[in-house]
């Protein structure tokens, strides 16, 4: 059975500030999706990470389907109404267009979708992050699908030994390229190491071309032409069999890496893996969080979720993330905690420069 798994997300109002989400928004989303279950969609799960509403849906209509995207857009609009009634913070923040026009891509929400023939057993993990941006998945996806120190299956599993190919997008130029791992990893890392511009969009099994992972690459600032909030990305990974095992897929998150997007979208901070109940970034509006929900698909039905980071084995990663958070915070307004000027989402640079224009003189 060919199934499409769609994850569509948006921030349509925070509670309190940008730290979390009011239950009423998720209730409203569930109510609407329940009506479409068995019609437009097979199954759904609604969750949130920080202030981002996550709609996880299965159906048989393929990617970029107008009806499915319209459903997501309508839900975000309905939830915005709920957020407005309660005067929640930043109601409708990510809805950048006035009306739906065929596809939510380019309209504000983030999207990750993949279609595949469901295997006899189909375990998938959906990663969702807050207070960071598209590109945050480059490092973990590289580790999962190309690094034998993370994924032993690349070395000892016969059905993975040929490696994976990576579709990398240049989001500034609107171009893409496919790299083959392992033989092109040095070329590929030139780009993946610069995740604000080059982002892994998808990963494929080399031997059979099967889709293994897909990530959202929407950059709100590029869509809107100005700062309107963070991209807070999502990523779907298929696991087991000829894909990395569940434990290999989760393993990169034991080493928290620094990502952009903390406070005012303008700071680097560690990505902390947490269970859903702890995905409420409150310290300096952070540090950035990632949740991982695991599902078994059964004819498109979502059996789950299992909250994969709800495991004491990730306690040490959380502790390291807190230590890194302290180290980064101690820099205050200095780089490398603060983003470089050209990457900053908020900046007073133009006003300050204008005010001081006459006071700059050449250095002899
Ligand atoms: C970070 C984030 C917050 C806000 C900050 C200011 O992505 O969402 O750190 O940038 O709370 O928010 P505004 O400008 O809405 O008052
Ligand atoms: Mg928000
Ligand atoms: Mg957010």
Note the pLDDT tens digit of each residue in 56-98: 999 999 999 999 999 999 999 999 999 999 999 999 999 988 8
Please state whether the peptide bond connecting residue 69 to the residue before it is cis, i.e. omega within 30 degrees of 0. no
Q: Is 153 helix (H, G, I), strand (E, B) or coil?
A: helix
- Which residues 6+ apart lie within 8 Å of 295 measured at CB? 45, 56, 123, 124, 125, 126, 302, 303, 304, 305, 306
Ligand 1 surroundings by CB, under 6 angstroms:
17-18, 90, 131, 230, 261, 263-265, 285
Whether 220 has a pLDDT exceeding 70, the answer reads: no
Read off the pLDDT of residues 324-352 as tens digits, 9 standing for 90 and up.
999 999 999 999 999 998 777 677 888 88
As a whole number of angstroms, the distance between CA 153 and CA 173 comes to 35
Res 199: pLDDT: 96
Rounded distance from Cα 20 to ligand 1 centre (Å): 12
- Overall average pLDDT of the 157-175 stretch: 95
Q: Is 270 helix (H, G, I), strand (E, B) or coil?
A: strand
CA angle 163, 307, 192 (to 5 degrees): 35
Read off the pLDDT of residues 101-144 as tens digits, 9 standing for 90 and up.
889 988 999 999 999 999 999 999 999 999 999 999 999 999 99
Q: Are strands 175-180 and 198-205 parallel, antiparallel or unpaired?
A: unpaired
Q: Is 147 helix (H, G, I), strand (E, B) or coil?
A: coil
Rounded distance from Cα 264 to ligand 1 centre (Å): 5
As a whole number of angstroms, the distance between CA 256 and CA 299 comes to 35
Whether 283 has a pLDDT exceeding 90, the answer reads: yes
Contact 331, 338 (CB under 8 A): yes
Res 221: pLDDT: 65
Rounded distance from Cα 220 to ligand 1 centre (Å): 14
Read off the pLDDT of residues 24-65 as tens digits, 9 standing for 90 and up.
999 999 999 999 999 999 999 999 999 999 999 999 999 999
Q: Quickly tell me which residue has 């959906």 as its tokens.
A: 126
Q: Is 227 a catalytic residue?
A: yes
What are the backbone dihedrals phi and psi of residue 29, each rounded to the nearest 5 degrees, phi first? -60, -45
In 10 A of CB 27, how many CB atoms? 12
- Overall average pLDDT of the 302-320 stretch: 98
Whether 226 has a pLDDT exceeding 80, the answer reads: no
What are the backbone dihedrals phi and psi of residue 15, each rounded to the nearest 5 degrees, phi first? -150, 110
Rounded distance from Cα 128 to ligand 2 centre (Å): 15
Which ligand has its closest atom nearest to the C-alpha of 18? 2
Res 351: pLDDT: 87
* pTM exceeding the 0.95 threshold for the entire prediction: yes
Res 219: pLDDT: 73
- Mean pLDDT estimate for the chain: 95
Residue of the CA atom closest to atom 14 of ligand 1? 264
Q: Residue 72 has which token pair? A: 């997501």
Q: Residue 252 has which token pair? A: 């990169």
Residue of the CA atom closest to atom 12 of ligand 1? 264
How large a percentage of the chain has pLDDT more than 70? 96
Residue of the CA atom closest to atom 13 of ligand 1? 264
Alpha carbon 265 to chain centroid, angstroms: 15
As a whole number of angstroms, the distance between CA 330 and CA 333 comes to 9
């Amino acid at each position: 059975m060919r199934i499409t798994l769609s994850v569509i997300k948006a921030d349509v109002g925070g509670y309190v500030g940008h730290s979390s989400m009011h239950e009423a928004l998720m209730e409203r989303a569930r109510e609407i999706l329940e009506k479409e279950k068995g019609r437009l969609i097979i199954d759904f799960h609604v969750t949130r990470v920080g202030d981002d509403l996550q709609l996880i849906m299965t159906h048989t209509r393929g990617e970029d389907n107008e009806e499915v995207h319209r459903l997501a857009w309508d839900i975000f609009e309905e939830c915005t109404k709920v957020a407005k009634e309660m005067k929640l913070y930043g109601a409708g923040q990510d809805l950048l267009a006035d009306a739906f026009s065929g596809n939510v891509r380019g309209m504000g929400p983030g999207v990750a979708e993949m279609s595949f023939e469901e295997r006899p057993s189909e375990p998938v993990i959906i990663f969702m992050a807050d207070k960071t941006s598209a590109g945050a998945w480059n490092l973990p996806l590289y580790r999962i699908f190309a690094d034998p120190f993370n994924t032993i299956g690349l070395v000892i599993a016969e059905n993975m030994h040929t490696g994976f190919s990576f579709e990398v997008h240049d989001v500034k130029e609107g171009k893409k390229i496919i790299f083959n791992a392992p033989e092109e990893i040095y070329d590929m890392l030139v780009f993946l190491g610069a995740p604000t511009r080059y982002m892994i969009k998808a990963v494929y099994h080399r031997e059979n071309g099967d889709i293994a992972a897909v990530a959202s690459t929407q950059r709100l600032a590029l869509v809107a032409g100005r700062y309107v909030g963070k991209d807070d990305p999502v990523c779907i990974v298929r696991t087991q069999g000829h894909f990395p095992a569940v434990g290999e897929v989760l393993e990169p998150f034991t080493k928290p890496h620094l990502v952009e997007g903390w406070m005012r979208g303008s700071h680097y901070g560690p990505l902390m893996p947490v269970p859903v109940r702890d995905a409420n970034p409150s310290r300096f509006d952070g540090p950035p969080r990632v949740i991982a929900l695991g599902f078994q698909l059964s004819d498109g039905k979502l059996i789950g979720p299992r909250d994969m980071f709800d495991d004491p084995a990730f306690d040490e990663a959380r502790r390291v993330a807190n230590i890194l958070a302290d180290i980064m915070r101690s820099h205050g307004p200095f780089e490398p905690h603060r983003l470089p000027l050209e990457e900053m989402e908020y900046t007073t640079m133009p006003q300050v420069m204008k005010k001081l224009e006459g006071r700059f003189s050449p250095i002899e």
